[in-house]
Amino acid sequence: MTRPNPTIALYPGSFDPITRGHEDIVRRGLRVADRIIVAVAHTSTQSKRGLFSVDERVELISEVFDDEDRIEAMGFRGLLVDFAAAQGAHLVLRGLRAVSDFEYELQMAQMNQELNADIETLFLVPEVSNSFISSSLVREVAALGGDVSSFVSPSVLERLLAKLDG
């Protein structure tokens, strides 16, 4: 198997909203990929109620990575492996925060491998300080008046507070 040049990776998820933990994984991903597409799923494997629309999430991700032209954000519908193939991506990046993530991640990676053998999943380890963050916890803490400024970037914080206010 040859390594595609350039190496394009997808970092898929629901990103409602993107957190510092996601940001950490994407920036680490640039060590193994030439270009990363942060791919916001319209259909998540786990059923989720959304706060931001997919378009808003894509917009927020683009703002967060404004400084880095190797990273872009896109929404996608349908299967992840089909979107990856359409984008010429052979790598799927996922973060493993704790043992509890492992079973679900392994199951998804193996299903994706079964659906398209050309796509590899690569697990990256987040910085310890980001290991407990999740988007739903950030939404919940913010909605209850807690300070989430260290968990999301300033532009996300501003939009999150405005959304919860309105």
Nearer to ligand COA, 3 or 31 (CB): 31
Q: Which of 42, 48, 129, 134 is catalytic?
A: 48
136 counts as catalytic? no
How far is CA 23 from each of CA 2, 71, 77, 88, 133, rounded to the nearest angstrom?
Answer: 28, 11, 22, 22, 12
Beta-carbon contacts of residue 148 (< 8 Å; ≥ 6 apart): 138, 141, 142, 157, 160
163 counts as catalytic? no
90 counts as catalytic? no
Nearer to ligand COA, 6 or 45 (CB): 45
57 counts as catalytic? no
Give me the least distance between CB of 67 and ligand COA, in Å please.
Answer: 19
Nearer to ligand COA, 2 or 11 (CB): 11
Give me the least distance between CB of 7 and ligand COA, in Å please.
Answer: 19
Residues that bind ligand COA (CB under 6 A): 12-14, 16, 19, 21-22, 25, 41, 43-46, 79-80, 95, 97, 108, 111-112, 126, 130, 133-136
Beta-carbon contacts of residue 81 (< 8 Å; ≥ 6 apart): 112, 115, 116, 119
Q: What is the CA radius of gyration of the chain?
A: 15
Q: Which of 20, 57, 135, 153 is catalytic?
A: 135
Measured N-to-C along each axis, helices 54-64 and 154-165 cross at an angle, to the nearest 10 degrees, of 150
Give me the least distance between CB of 45 and ligand COA, in Å please.
Answer: 3
If you count them, how many residues does the chain have?
166
Alpha-carbon span 18 to 66, nearest angstrom: 14
Chain residue at closest Cβ approach to ligand COA = 21
Nearer to ligand COA, 35 or 75 (CB): 75
Q: Phi-psi category of 102—alpha, beta or left, where left has phi over 0 and alpha has psi -120 to 50?
A: alpha
Catalytic residues: 22, 48, 97, 135
